[in-house]
Amino acid sequence: MRSYAVKFFLGLYLIGFSACQIPSQVAMDGAGGRTAYNMTVQETNAEQMLLNLVRLRYADIPFFLDVASITTQSTFRSELNPIFSIPGFTHTNPASVRTGVMWQDQPTITYTPLEGSAFASRMLRPVDLQTIQLLTYSGWDVDRIFRMLVQNFEGVLNTPEANDPPEQYGEYTRFMEFSELLRVFQKKGELQLGVSVKKGGKDNQPAEEVLQIAFPSHGDEGIRLADILHCQEKLDGRCRREVDFGFNAQGRLGVMTRSIMSCMYYLSHGVQVPEDHVESGMVRPPTCPGMDEDSRWQEMFCRLMNVKWSKFPPHNIFIAVKYHNIWFYIDDNDRSSKKTFALLMQLYNLNAIVPNNRGPILTLPLR
* pLDDT score for 35: 82
The string of pLDDT tens digits covering residues 143-163 is 999 999 998 888 788 875 554
Banded model confidence at residue 254, pLDDT cuts 50, 70, 90: confident
Q: Give phi and psi for 6, each to the nearest 5.
A: -60, -45
The CA-atom distances, in angstroms, between 60 and each of 52, 55, 57, 265, 323 are: 9, 5, 7, 11, 11
* pLDDT score for 71: 80
Banded model confidence at residue 293, pLDDT cuts 50, 70, 90: very low
- Work out the angle between the directed axes of helices 260-268 and 335-350 (0-180°, nearest 10): 160
Could you please report the per-residue DSSP string of 145-200? HHHHHEEEETTEES-SSTTS--S-HHHHHHHHHHHHHHHHHHHHT--EEEEEEEPP
- Average of per-residue pLDDT across 327-340: 95
For the ranges 61-70, 156-165, 248-257, 329-338, the lowest mean pLDDT is seen at: 156-165
- Average of per-residue pLDDT across 225-247: 84
Banded model confidence at residue 198, pLDDT cuts 50, 70, 90: confident
- Is the pLDDT at 333 greater than 80, yes or no? yes
Contact between residue 23 and residue 74 where contact means Cβ atoms under 8 Å apart:
yes
The residue type at 286 = P
* Edge-to-edge strand ranges of the sheet holding 150-153: 156-157, 150-153, 255-257
**What's the rounded Cα separation, in Å, for the pair 269 and 287?**
11
Residues in Cβ contact with 83 at an 8 Å cutoff, skipping those fewer than 6 apart? 95, 96, 97, 98
* pLDDT score for 32: 63
Banded model confidence at residue 242, pLDDT cuts 50, 70, 90: confident
* pLDDT score for 351: 82
Strand partners, 255: 153, 245
**What's the rounded Cα separation, in Å, for the pair 101 and 80?**
9
For the ranges 63-67, 83-87, 337-341, the lowest mean pLDDT is seen at: 83-87
- Average of per-residue pLDDT across 300-312: 86
55-68: b (≥16 Cβ within 10 Å) or e = bbbbeeebebeeee
pTM here is: 0.78
By percentage, how much of the chain surpasses pLDDT 70?
67
- Between strands 255-257 and 150-153, the pairing is antiparallel
**What's the rounded Cα separation, in Å, for the pair 34 and 32?**
7
